[in-house]
Chains A and B, each alone.
Chain A
Amino acid sequence: MNIQVLPHVFKKIGLFLFIAYPVGHFLLGFFDPIQEDGKSGFHPFWSEAIDVGALLGVIIYFISKEKVEDELIKQVRLESMSIAFLLSVGVLLLLSIALGGQSVDASLMFVLQLTLFLILYHYRKKSFSL
């Protein structure tokens, strides 16, 4: 099954959205008119919009084609996904031990897994270049 349906140019758009998330979140913090009860003064839509944008960015990146889409790149993609999954489970285990059985935020795990995937995919792809 081929789920890479978007043209190659969408890779850059997806990556931009993903990187814009932490930067946007960081910048938003400076201008946040924090209320007396410590809650953000912004409408919840804005912080949510940034979160959704980042996840959307990874999805766009994931379903965009490489310049040349062949069996090597498919294998690299699958291997990176498997390693990212295993590493994130490892981190989850360590966090559970460190936090004494407290639950870990699911969205944090997703972001960790997706970030690991992007890093692994990038470096594994590079390792096949001259």
Chain B
Amino acid sequence: MKNMIKVERARHDLTQANLAEKIQVSRQTIHAIEKGKFVPSTILALKMARFFNLKVEDLFILEEDD
């Protein structure tokens, strides 16, 4: 699964730390999600989508091998 968090973060001019603070997780968590090392829970995915005013499937995109 790939995600558009880095792109959206750049669009909103936010650092990893800023975004982490807004959705109450650690900066490491944002970094791990962006790098694809960690798949967030539904709750966190929904929180992020709501924050960026997007649908979850616009922020997280399934790939062929998923």
B37 lies within 8 A of chain A by Cβ = yes
Chain A residues whose CB sits within 8 angstroms of the CB of B31 once the complex forms: 128-130
Cβ of B44 within 8 Å of any chain A Cβ, yes or no, is yes
A68 in contact with B37 (CB, 8 Å): no
Can you name the residue of chain A whose Cβ is closest to the Cβ of B29? A72
Interface size class of B (residues with CB under 8 A): 10 to 19
Check if B26 sits within 8 Å of A75, measured CB to CB: no
Task: Give the residues in chain A near B61, CB-CB below 8 Å.
Answer: none
A67 within 8 Å of B (CB atoms) = yes
Residue A71 lies at the interface, judged by CB distance under 8 Å to chain B: yes
Chain A interface residue count, Cβ-Cβ cutoff 8 angstroms: 12
Q: Give the nearest-CB partner of B35 in chain A.
A: A128
B38 touches A68 (CB 8 A): no
Contacting pair A75 B38 (CB below 8 A): yes
Residues in B neighbouring A129, C-beta threshold 8 A = 28, 31
Q: B32 contacts A71, CB within 8 Å?
A: no
A55 interface residue (CB < 8 Å to B): no
Interface residues in chain A, defined as those with a beta carbon under 8 Å from any beta carbon in chain B:
66-68, 70-73, 75, 125, 128-130
Question: Can you name 9 extra interface pairs (CB under 8 A) apart from A66-B26, A71-B25, A73-B26?
Answer: A67-B26, A68-B24, A68-B29, A71-B29, A71-B41, A72-B26, A72-B38, A73-B29, A125-B28
